[in-house]
Amino acid sequence: MPPARTFPLASLPDRLAGHLRDRPPPQAPHDARTARLLGTATGSALLLCLVTGLISHVHQHPPSWFDLPSRPVWGYQVTQGLHVISGIAAIPLVLVKLWVVFPRLFAWPPVRGLGHAAERALIAPLVAGTLFELVTGLLNVVQWYPWPFFFPAAHWAVAWIVAGAALVHLAVKAPLGRRPRRPDAPAPVASRRAVLVGAGTAAAAVTLATAGQTVPGLGAVSVLAPRRNAGSPGGVPVNRTAADAGVHAAATDPGWRLVVAGPREVALGAADLARLPQYEARLPIACVEGWSATALWSGVRLRDVLDLAGVPHDAHLRLVSLETVGLYGRSPMAPPTARDPLTLLATRLDGAPLSLDHGYPLRLVAPNRPGVQQTKWLARIETVPA
C-alpha cells in the first residue's frame, strides 16, 4: 500500500489563500451588478419598513414632549399597513440577495483596508439582525410568540443595530458603485434577468397574498392574510376577547359606571350616556399586526364628557379599562385627540350595540390611533401630568 500523502501544516494557509485568490470572478447572477440591483430593491423595502416602524413606535410610546396629531384619521392605518406590507415583501428580496452575494464572502484578500474591515465585521449583525426583524415581525403578524423576550422592545432595539450596520455597509460600498465598469466585465445575461424577475415576482406574490388585511379590494386574492375582516360585526376583527381579558363579570354588571376624574368627578352609567348628545363617526381600527377595518361607530363625544367633569382643554389623559391583566389596560391620550370632535366613547358599531368582545359597555374610538390604544371596556378617565 503506498504511503498516505501528507502536507506540512505550514502549507495549508498558503494552499487556502491560493484557492481563494485563483477563484474566477463572480459571474451573473452572482456578479456585482446583480447584487447592486437587488440591493437597491431590498434596501428600499427595508428603509420603508424602518421609517414606518419608527412612526408606529412613536404612536404606541408617545414622548412626553410631543402631542401626536389626531389627523389624518387614517394616518396610523396607512403607516402601519405599509410597515407590515414592506416587511413581508422584503423577505424574498433578502433571501435572494443573500444567495447572490454568498460567493463574494470568500473573495481574497478577506480585508482590503480599515473601512473594508469594518464592513466585513458588521456583515454578521447586519444579516442576523435583518433576519431576526423579518422572522419575528412575521410571527407577530400571526400573533405567535415562541420566545421569552418582549417582542416590541427587542424589535425596536435590533432595528437600530441593523440600521447602524447598514449605514457602515453603504458607506464602504458607495465608492465602489462610482467606479467605471471594466471592459472585460461579464455582460448582462439571461440568468441575471431570471433572478431579478423571480425575486420581484416573489415579492409581489407575497404582498398580494397578505395585503388584503389592510388594503381595500385585495381581500379576495390575499389568501394568506391572517385577518381578512369577515364574519365580525362591522368587519372589525377581535384581537382580544372579553374571556381573554377576564372582564365578563365586570362588563355585564348593572352597576357599571364610567368614572371621569376631574375638578368635578362624575360617574356615568349606560342611561346617563344615552341621554347625552349622540354622534357617529366612520373611523378605522388599525392594529400593530397590520390589519385594519373601517366601520361606523356611534356614541358620545369624549370632549363632552370631559366638560361635564371640568377637565381642562390642555389636559393629558389616561384611559383605564376594566381589564386588569395584560399590557394595554391603560393608554395615554394627548389633548389634540381628546378634544377632536371625532373621538368617541362608543356604545354602538354599525348601528348595533357593541358586543362584549368589541368593548361593551363602552370603548374608545379615536382618529389616527393604534388599535391597542382604542381602549375597550372603559372604566375610568383621569388626568396625568403633561
pLDDT tens, position by position, 6-45: 444 444 455 544 444 445 555 667 888 898 899 999 999 9
Angle at the Cα of 138 from the Cα atoms of 132 and 139, rounded to 5 degrees = 90
| Upstream peptide bond of 186 is cis (omega within 30 degrees of 0) | no
Convert the pLDDT of each residue in 73-122 to its tens digit. 999 999 999 999 999 999 999 999 999 988 877 777 777 777 778 778 88
Answer with the residue of higher pLDDT: 342 or 167.
Answer: 342
Residues above pLDDT 90, as percent of the chain: 66
Answer with the residue of higher pLDDT: 51 or 20.
Answer: 51
Task: Locate the domains of the chain by residue range.
Answer: 21-213, 233-384
Task: Return mean pLDDT, the chain.
Answer: 88
The β-bridge relationship of strands 292-301 and 344-349 is antiparallel
Q: How far is residue 47's CA from residue 261's CA, in Å, rounded to a whole number? A: 43
pLDDT band for position 264 (50/70/90)?
very high
Answer with the residue of higher pLDDT: 309 or 172.
Answer: 309
- The domain 233-384 is classified under which CATH number: 3.90.420.10, 3.40.50.10420, 3.30.43.10, 3.30.300.160? 3.90.420.10
Structure confidence at residue 337 (pLDDT): 97
| Upstream peptide bond of 63 is cis (omega within 30 degrees of 0) | no
Least confident segment among 163-167, 269-273, 281-285: 163-167
- Give the global pTM: 0.87
Q: Which residues pair with 260 in a beta bridge?
A: 266, 381
Residue type, position 18, single letter: G
Is residue 293 a contact partner of residue 281, using CB atoms and an 8 Å limit? no
Q: Which fold has domain 21-213?
A: Fumarate Reductase Cytochrome B subunit (1.20.950)
Region 132-154: mean pLDDT is 95
Structure confidence at residue 12 (pLDDT): 45
pLDDT band for position 174 (50/70/90)?
confident
Structure confidence at residue 20 (pLDDT): 45
Structure confidence at residue 7 (pLDDT): 43
Region 293-315: mean pLDDT is 97
Which residues have CB under 8 Å from 110's CB, separation 6+? 120
Answer with the residue of higher pLDDT: 377 or 240.
Answer: 377
Region 40-65: mean pLDDT is 94
Structure confidence at residue 26 (pLDDT): 56
Residue type, position 377, single letter: W
Structure confidence at residue 28 (pLDDT): 63
